Chain A
Amino acid sequence: MADLVIPSLIETLYMVLFSTIFSLLLGFPLGIILVVSEKGNIWEKPKLNQILNSIINILRSFPFLILMIVIFPLSTLIVGKSIGTTATIVPLSIAAAPFVARIIESSLKEVDKGVIELSLSMGATIPQIITKVLIPEAMPSIILGITLTIINIIGYSAMAGAIGGGGLGDLAIRYGHYRRETDVMIASVVIIVIMVQSIQFFGNTLSAKINKK
């Protein structure tokens, strides 16, 4: 059984790792722009803010499975194929990016308005406020947000397995569901649960450890 489970575990880890990285690359800047472009904030751009908000809301209201089917052609374009683990990273990243943007947005909004005023009164530039004040002050909360993102992506990646994405979800369905090999199914589920639990534990611990508030 180990020779079935271990390759699938590696596939899942691979999908989750890269999807997390790409969704952060897409969602993090979006989250920052959402905050600073808001009315009354340091880089007021109400129109832009409104447009971004609408795009994110639309993307977030798509059920993941549908989004995946819609985006598969795009996968072909980017990675050259539309099934398999590498191909799945594209829809996973795109599905998780709006989520990341919202998470980052809400973390940054928790930062005390007073320290932003202080930064302005000291002549900080907008990029300086973002990198030296907003992000460091929100870091404990951002780490919790990223933890939640990874857990979400693990869930999505298991679903992606159902339509040929590979990984533990795929394994559980192929062996556990179609061939009724319950032990393989149980093993996959247990591994996923352990992964989620340890990531949550690690995220909570790290966030608490760096928080000086």
Chain B
Amino acid sequence: MIKIQNLYKEFTNGKEVLTAVKNLNLNINQGEIFGIIGLSGAGKSTLIRCINRLEEPTEGKIIIDEVDITDLDKETLRITRKDIGMIFQHFNLLSQKTVFDNVAFSLNLSKMDKKKIEIRVDQLLKYVGLEDKKHSYPSTLSGGQKQRVAIARAIANNPKVLLSDEGTSALDPQTTKSILSLLNRIRKEMGITIVMITHQMEVVKEICDRVAIMEDGEIVEVNTVEDLFREPKTKTAHKFINSMHTSVEEEIINPEDFKGKIARLSFVGNTARDPIVSQVIRRFNININILSGNINKLQTSSVGHLIVEFTGDEEEVNKALAYLKNQDVTVEVI
């Protein structure tokens, strides 16, 4: 569907030349959700902006659906862009227009009949779950709602490809999930090929079929998401997997479902190696039930997290918590 061949993008700043994308080759299949992950400055945005030529490639070819994008004159490019939707980190909604007019934007540009626009926009708003916000202005919407409007606007023209440049980076984890599942639904029901730029491994894990890892303007690994997690080929991929935040358990564990006190214990450095939990159980007349745990290796040390339930006499539990704090354990009662 999308073939990128020997793509180069250079930025010239006076005498300095910065190569943001270097000799990049990539094939993205029809109907696939393809992730591109990389650290800040890796060149992800530059790459995705080359795909619809918001950024002019210095060298190389980009072929979308058999059409060489890099070969098109301005006017043909303009028309071809209607087949490539795009969403952005900061939504880019028209602040002075209602939700309806924002979604209708591309249809208005194509001078579609007013009645047809009305029908199409209503249908789109229903699809993204915002029928009741039709006459609202963007400033009154939450981030997730804004991105839904932007998505409805991006797919209004039935594009073949949807580009997302950090489309979920400004959203909280839960909202991110709901946006991702909307994108997944769009892919399934409309067969749109989606290219997702992100620096969050969670996003890749959640919906991507395949992923490219980008570093210093180059792609260092292309893998299916499954294989990437099972056995990443490169160090960079390893780092991304290791850096994943595991804040997920907090969403699953609802303190109200438990009788005892739920706490999150964080161990840093040496305390991560001491048998502190068993010490506590021996010293105090309480029970500790481990609900979840993980350990993350950071650059300088390692951090372990445990989510545990304390049951037993209230006073005894409080003494145990005080003891833990004395042992340099960070205790956070949830």
Which residues of A come within 8 Å of B, CB atoms?
112, 114-115, 117-125, 128, 132-133, 136-137, 139-140, 210-213
Verify B96–A123 contact, CB threshold 8 A.
Answer: no
Q: A120 and B81 in contact (CB under 8 A), knowing A114-B88, A114-B90, A128-B109?
A: yes
Verify A213–B95 contact, CB threshold 8 A.
Answer: yes
Q: A122 and B96 in contact (CB under 8 A), knowing A114-B90, A132-B108, A212-B139?
A: no
B298 within 8 A of A: no
Report B90-105 residues with CB < 8 Å from chain A CB: 90, 92-97, 105
Residue of B whose beta carbon sits closest to that of A135? B96
Residues of A within 8 A of B105 (CB): 119, 122, 132
Residues of B within 8 A of A115 (CB): 92-95
Residues of A within 8 A of B153 (CB): 122
Residues of B within 8 A of A132 (CB): 105, 108-109
B20 within 8 A of A: no
Verify B95–A121 contact, CB threshold 8 A.
Answer: no
Verify A123–B137 contact, CB threshold 8 A.
Answer: no
Report B129-144 residues with CB < 8 Å from chain A CB: 137-139
Contact for A136 among B52, B85, B97, B157, CB less than 8 A: B97
Verify A125–B78 contact, CB threshold 8 A.
Answer: yes
Contact for B96 among A119, A128, A139, CB less than 8 A: A139
Interface string of B191-232 (1 = CB under 8 A from A): 000000000000000000000000000000000000000000
Residue with the greatest number of chain A CB neighbours at <10 A, chosen from B78, B84, B108? B78
Expressed in whole angstroms, the Cα–Cα distance for A128 and B106 within the complex equals 11
Expressed in whole angstroms, the Cα–Cα distance for A123 and B153 within the complex equals 13
B54 within 8 A of A: yes
Excluding A132-B109, A213-B95, 6 further A-B contacts by CB distance (< 8 Å) are: A119-B109, A122-B86, A123-B82, A137-B95, A139-B96, A213-B139
